[in-house]
A and B are shown apart, each in its own frame.
Chain A
Amino acid sequence: MNQPLIEARQLRVSIGDKAIIDRLNLGVASGERLAILGRNGAGKSTLLSTLAGLRKPASGAVLLEGEDAALLHPRQAALRRAWLGQFQNDPFGSTVLETALTGRHPHLGRWDWESTRDAELARGALRAVGLAGMEERQIHTLSGGERQRLAIATLLTQAAPLYLLDEPLSHLDLNHQMAVLELFAGTARDCGAGVIMVLHDPALAHRFCDRALLVYGDGQTRLGPVDDILTAATLSELYGYGLRQIEDRGHRCFIPE
């Protein structure tokens, strides 16, 4: 039963000739939350899209629920993991509800149209990210933060057991950052979803994740429980800038020297 939702085995990820990840072994099980941290350009997004099966690994394998992601049909993969990209751009118009409904694609047959049940799921997802009442708005009238929350709602509509989130907090103001993190923490706790997210704030990673993966950009990585790995020493080394650590009511906070 306790098969991990996703597993990386001896994973090597390269951009051009440069290996940014080498011999990575990683498993994320149901209910687990993992943060990926690293400097700009270290390869966090590239790693995440490789884990999502959107990019071929240089060597090694990614397994989704025990099956090689490279051999799964994209539709099968889409039922096992949902991926949030960093950029949303929309050359054509569409309404908010239509956009959220695209998440139902892997669940529908070739000739099916979205049913009222699909629409209910989409409306529920929009409510969960605070976009209720905006169903008929055109997407290019949304603000950056609203567009990002719509992308998250689309992800929820997809209803996969594993969420791969590339900077889910970009464009979001503080209250929505907390709301989104709490939303995924709740999904992990109550529905047993697995969550892997690329984050830039080690304090939020410490607060909302069980484990963290530090990506150094030269092939090296470090993986461990957040309490052990998110410390002033390791993070100062990771970002190449001195950080001081402050504890407050169980939350960790990092201040640049």
Chain B
Amino acid sequence: MPTRHRAILILSALCLLAVGSFMLALMVGSFKVAPADVLATLFGQEGSGGEVVIELRLPRAIAGFACGGLLALAGALMQVLLRNPLADPYVLGISGGAGVGAMFAILIGLPVLGIDGLAFLGALGAMFIVFGLAHGDGSWTQTRLLLTGVIVAAGCGALVALMLAIAEEHKLRGMLFWLMGDLGQSTQWWPPLAALVVALTLAMPFARELNLLSRGMMQAQALGVAVGRLRYAIYLLASLATAASVTTAGSIGFVGLVVPHLVRLATGNDQRLLLPASVLAGGSLLVLADTLARTLIAPQQLPVGVLTALIGVPVFLFLLSRQPK
């Protein structure tokens, strides 16, 4: 039986994991900083490597944590909205739209701010197109929404491929890094963090209603959930969370799909616990993966999306193979 006590225990453990992942991210790199120095720097004292920690590693770790948290939250919400365990934040074409925007911005040589701006506009565009098409006759069933999203995503994929094909050589690397997901390009750490705090604060009051929605729309309605309004709200919230993450760090794969599943396996499908636990686990995972990405073959950096996928694919296949019980 789900209890608040158990939820608090599990969330405390995950908080420790998050703190641990931050410590590691701040210590490790081509310039190593001792744990004591990291702590001293964080508490405002002079320590060796203070600038590296404060100016470079901390903002990047915060941005990574926020993006991982946003993706895991959006994934958990999409899985409820579509009542499909295989749904992820990108299934409805948000990242495809952002990709088209970002590729276009890089193609015409816009600065970083322009890339972020167009990526966000692209994500919003895809969100409205999918909603408009799926909502058409007012039914917007899960199947219709899913199909529309997949088709729009496929269309965006074609546009992205087209732009990659006609891009000049020296722009290709930047484009590929964006598409694979990379925290090195994130300029600001506070927008995704603010988005994460707002999204989680908005989602939590409806967690028990989401539990019911995951069991079926009619059942949820019969048990007292205002299903129509709730579905609009989740669609908007999950889409904007995804857009915020994709704008910051490109389309990092698998966090949004695998993290909610891992948490579900470990703790059950109660959204009151699943949503905050996914945020903490997703954030920590991305911070750890990014630390690996910039140290594995240092001084060269890998796009973090490659690592999340490399970790995510086997984990997900393992989960899938033990699914039919």
Contact = CB atoms under 8 A, between A and B. Distances in A.
Contact of A91 (B4, B84, B224): B84
6 contacts: A54-B222, A91-B84, A92-B215, A94-B268, A94-B269, A140-B325
Contacts of B212: 102, 105
A52 B4 CA distance: 32
Interface string B2-22: 111000000000000000000
A98 B208 contact: no
Interface of A: 49, 52, 54, 73-79, 82-83, 85, 87-95, 97-99, 101-103, 105-106, 108, 110-111, 113-114, 119, 138, 140-141, 158
A141 B222 contact: no
A97 B1 contact: yes
B167 interface: no
Interface of B: 1-4, 79, 83-85, 205, 208-209, 211-212, 214-216, 218-219, 221-227, 264, 268-270, 272, 325
A98 B325 contact: no
Interface of B is mostly: loop
Contacts of B2: 98, 101, 113-114
A93 B221 contact: no
Given A91-B85, A92-B264, A105 B208 contact: yes
B223 to A, nearest CB: 5
Given A91-B214, A110-B205, A113-B3, A102 B223 contact: yes
A127 to B, nearest CB: 16
B216 A85 contact: yes
Nearest to A89: B216
A105 B270 CA distance: 13
A91 B209 CA distance: 16
Contacts of B4: 113
Given A97-B1, A108-B208, A110-B205, A74 B264 contact: no
B268 A74 contact: no
A100 to B, nearest CB: 10
B219 A138 contact: no
B224 A105 contact: yes
Contact of A85 (B211, B218, B272): B218
A83 B85 CA distance: 26
Nearest to B225: A74
A49 B225 CA distance: 15
Contacts of A74: 221, 224-227
A98 B1 contact: yes
Contact of B223 (A94, A103, A138): A103
Given A85-B219, A98-B1, A114-B1, A92 B226 contact: no
A90 B208 CA distance: 16
Contacts of A90: 215
Given A91-B84, A105-B212, A106-B223, A141 B218 contact: no
Contact of A119 (B1, B225, B264): B1
A85 B222 contact: yes
Given A73-B226, A74-B226, A110-B205, A54 B84 contact: no
Contacts of A110: 205, 208
Contacts of A93: 264, 268-269
A89 B219 CA distance: 10
Contacts of B226: 73-74
Nearest to B324: A140
B321 to A, nearest CB: 16
A76 to B, nearest CB: 8
Contact of A78 (B222, B264, B272): B222
A77 B223 CA distance: 8
Nearest to A164: B222
B219 A78 contact: no
A202 B313 CA distance: 55
Contact of B222 (A76, A83, A99): A83
Contact of A92 (B85, B223, B272): B85
B208 A92 contact: no
Contacts of B208: 105, 108, 110
A137 to B, nearest CB: 12
A92 B214 contact: yes
Contacts of A91: 83-85, 214
A105 B218 CA distance: 14
Q: Which of A79, A91, A106 has the most CB of B within 10 A?
A: A91
Contacts of B264: 92-93
- Residue from A74, A94, A95, A114 having most chain B Cβ neighbours under 10 A: A74
B211 to A, nearest CB: 7
B325 A141 contact: yes
Most buried by B among A54, A83, A92, A93: A92
A138 B224 contact: no
Contacts of B83: 91
